[in-house]
Structure 1
Amino acid sequence: MRMVSSCTRIPVPRIWTHFVWDERRYIVMSRVRGVELSSVWRTAGTQFKEAVAAQLANHFKELRTLRTPYGSRICSILGGPVRDFRLQYRHTGPFEDEDDFNHHGARFNHDIEFLPADMQELVAAAHSIKHDIVFTHGDLALRNIMVDGATVTAIVDWECAGWFPEHWEYCKSIFAAEWGEERDPWLRRALPVYYLEAEADSMLVRHLWRPLV
């Protein structure tokens, strides 16, 4: 959050301090005005949703201007393992490049030969596309967006942030599954859209992903 705050105009809480106590990590941060977007989204009107989606689009466009110092590596902000609840393990990597990430992370370290032929083709096609490595929030769920009226006051919960392929933000937002039946039209306004990659990722999640808890 400190990097995002110092390098962009994206609203995030101010970090006062962080510490480890009883083998747990804690962060003390400023209180953000407003409420979680999840508490008002489903009853909100079209004008409200348009305003929020437009702000998010601007914020994530700016986030994409950050450049990785680690080349093709998929990794944390400091170049180490990533934390991501969609991957095979919550802490995993770093991955040397996107091919390594696709096989050992996105595919849960499985080959795809056991999938039906049409699924194999879809996953292979999606994973053959090369993407830029960009800074990614990694958990753009409604609960992690704070609003005061129709103003986005903060994007919170950056624990899954890191350097990922550019389509990962969109795929992870679908994985979060909080946008409801009207999710896709509004999500497409807030983030760049990657249809093929998202379809392949949703298929892998349905067939291979298992929660750790």
Structure 2
Amino acid sequence: MQLVCEHVPISTPRIHNLFFDDRHMYIVMDYVDGEDLITLWPKLSLWRKLYVVWTIRRYIQKLRAWRPPKPDIPGPIDASGEPVDCECPQFGEWPQGPFANYSELCAWFEHVRALTVDMAKHRFHHEIDEKNLPHFDRSTPLVFFIHGDISMRNIRVSKDGTVWLLDWGFSGMYPQWFEYVGMMKYRAWIDPHPWLWMFCIPFMAGWYHKQASFLDKIRIGLQNPFWRITPVKAPDNRGGE
């Protein structure tokens, strides 16, 4: 989050202090006096809603435009620039990694793909057509930064009309289609977003339906609750579908 504040000209709160106790981490940051978009949305005019959509599109483009000093390290990094575990829904329910480079990240997802095929066959007695199961798409470079959870609950509009992007807990350097996947998860019944917002997601983040479909199809492997999948080292640079 601090890297975003320092390098990307978008509206996000600045961090002023960080401290820990035995169980928790506490962050002291700017307070944004306003209202979360999820509650403000019904009160906005159509043109104001489209203004917010356009602003988020512009923020995503700016986040994708900046290149970090180590552009091949996926996920979040610590203060020294070293990779740390990846924590976002695209990896399932448990942290994964850290990954030393993009190829390791791709190999990990290919490993989960193979695990999905094996689990479907031997645990659920369901054959998956592996030949038509897509591969991880690494056709786009890692970008800085993927927010990872752009929802209407993580967007606040201040009293002066500024659109602020909050809560960077799932952020990191990932393929740019991760942003689309993170936004599209709010089509589910658990926390459904308004239809106009969902309709505008491809305009804001790009259209990556095939990549989202890949994660859906390997969900069995991603949600395996019995063991933590370890990073897989593989020099294979083959692009996915």
Q: Please state which band the TM-score falls in when normalised by the shorter chain.
A: 0.7 to 0.9
- Bigger Cα displacement from structure 2, 12-21 vs 42-51: 42-51
| Corresponding position of 2:98 | 94
String of CA shifts for 1:46-100, please: whole Å, max 9, x gaps.
2122100111111111111221333433121332222224413532212244454
Which aligned pairs between 1:25-36 and structure 2 lie closer than 5 A?
Answer: 25-36=25-36
| Per-residue deviation, 1:152 | 4.0
The whole-number CA distance in structure 1 between the counterparts of 2:223 and 2:45 is 35
Q: Which has the higher strand share?
A: 1
Alpha-carbon distance change, 69 to 195 in structure 1, aligned in 2, over 3 angstroms: same
Distance 1:69 1:30, change over 3 A: same
- Given the superposition, is the C-alpha separation of residues 86 and 30 from structure 1 closer, same or farther in structure 2, using an over 3 Å criterion? same
Correspondence list, 1:47-86, <5 A: 47-78=47-78, 79-86=83-90
**How many residue pairs are counted as aligned between the two chains?**
208
CA distance in 1, matches of 2:100, 2:21: 33
Alignment RMSD: 2.9
Contact 2:89 2:182 in 1 (8 A): no
Question: Is 1:12–2:12 an aligned residue pair?
Answer: yes
Other-structure match for 2:198: 184
Deviations 1:94-117 (A, max 9, x none): 224445434535875753434632
Moved more, 167-176 or 149-158: 149-158
Task: Provide the rounded CA distance (Å) in 2 between the counterparts of 1:15 and 1:37.
Answer: 22
Maintained 8 Å contact 2:55/2:163: no
Letter in 1 for 2:27: I
Q: Distance in 1 between matches of 2:155 and 2:87?
A: 19
Unaligned runs of at least 5 residues, structure 2: 121-126, 226-241
Matched residue, 2:161: 151
Given candidates 175, 184, 196, the residue that maps to 2:210 is 196
Q: Verify the 8 A CA contact 2:158 2:164 in the aligned structure 1.
A: no
SS of the residue corresponding to residue 134 of structure 2 reads: helix
Indicate whether 1:21 and 2:21 are aligned.
yes
Report the alpha carbon displacement of residue 169 of structure 1 after superposing the two structures with TM. 0.8
TM-score, length-scaled by structure 1:
0.82
Matched to 1:130, the amino acid is: S
The answer to whether 1:116 aligns with 2:125 is no
Does 2:140 match 1:131? Answer: yes
1:167-202 per-residue CA deviation (whole Å, 9 max, x = no partner) reads 111111112444343343211222122221123223
Q: Comparing 185-194 with 38-47, which one deviates more in the overlay?
A: 38-47
Identity %: 21
Stretch of structure 1 that moved more, 103-112 or 71-80: 103-112
